[in-house]
Amino acid sequence: MASPEPSDVPPDERGVPSDLTRPPASVSHLRRYVSLRGPNARMWMTAAYFSASLTLGFLLVVGSMLWHVTREEATVGSVSLWAIAGLVMFFLGPGSNVFLVRGLPQRITSQGISADSDGVTLLQERKWWFPGEGTFVSWEEIRRIREVHIGGRRVLYFIEFALDTHRTDPELPGWAESAETLDLEADPEAATQFYVQVPKDRKEHILRMVERTAPLPSIVERSAPLR
């Protein structure tokens, strides 16, 4: 992405307010931005290809069954087997496509976090029929921004946002997690907590970006390094 990385910006230079009046099709106009491709984008693309393959198999099964029936080469038993196979592949292929097609654009679109003199914005770009999403959090609302890692053999990395203001679920990013879903202890002093999964090699970029832009860099907290 053409936008500058946080390390490219001098530490003493403050960002300017983001122009959020533009459509969320692109984020290249933002002052400071760290790109975060959806961590599960590859998994969703693999599922989409697998579902498409099953759909093709379903069409081949149905087409072959109709071909043999019209040529009067099929018995009742073989037609029953073709029908059962076609029914199973229908639920695995076209049936799963309904779920995948609806959520795929949001899962594979570009997303990221930007920071400027007003606050932090969490963005998902527009892709296909997904209109895009932008959630703004002002510095006055933010109590803490902290890195969190969970898991044993497979470690997942998150950025925690703890706010002093109450926000409902529709007011939070659609790709955010809660302390409950991650089985983490909630902070009783925070009015709102949410977590955004990030790649391991991008979490430090985000924390440095916030430190260089926030009025109070002390809102950033780092976890102890893993051994």
What pLDDT score does 180 carry? 93
150-164 tens-digit pLDDT = 987 888 999 999 999
What pLDDT score does 66 carry? 74
Within 10 angstroms of residue 63's Cβ, the number of other Cβ atoms is 11
Q: What is the DSSP string of 116-135?
A: -SSEEEEEE--BTTB--EEE
- 111 versus 76: which is more confidently predicted? 111
Whole-structure pTM value: 0.66
185-219 tens-digit pLDDT = 999 999 999 999 988 888 999 999 999 999 999 99
CA 115 to chain centre: 18
pLDDT confidence of 64, banded at 50, 70, 90?
confident
9-37 tens-digit pLDDT = 444 433 334 444 444 444 444 456 566 66
Alpha helices (H) in 19-175, listed in sequence order: 41-70, 76-92, 94-108
Q: Which residues of 147-180 are buried (b: 16+ CB within 10 A; e: fewer)?
A: bbeeeeeeeebbbbbbbeeebeeeebbebbbebe
What pLDDT score does 16 carry? 38
What pLDDT score does 60 carry? 77
Q: Averaged over 63-72, what is the pLDDT? A: 72
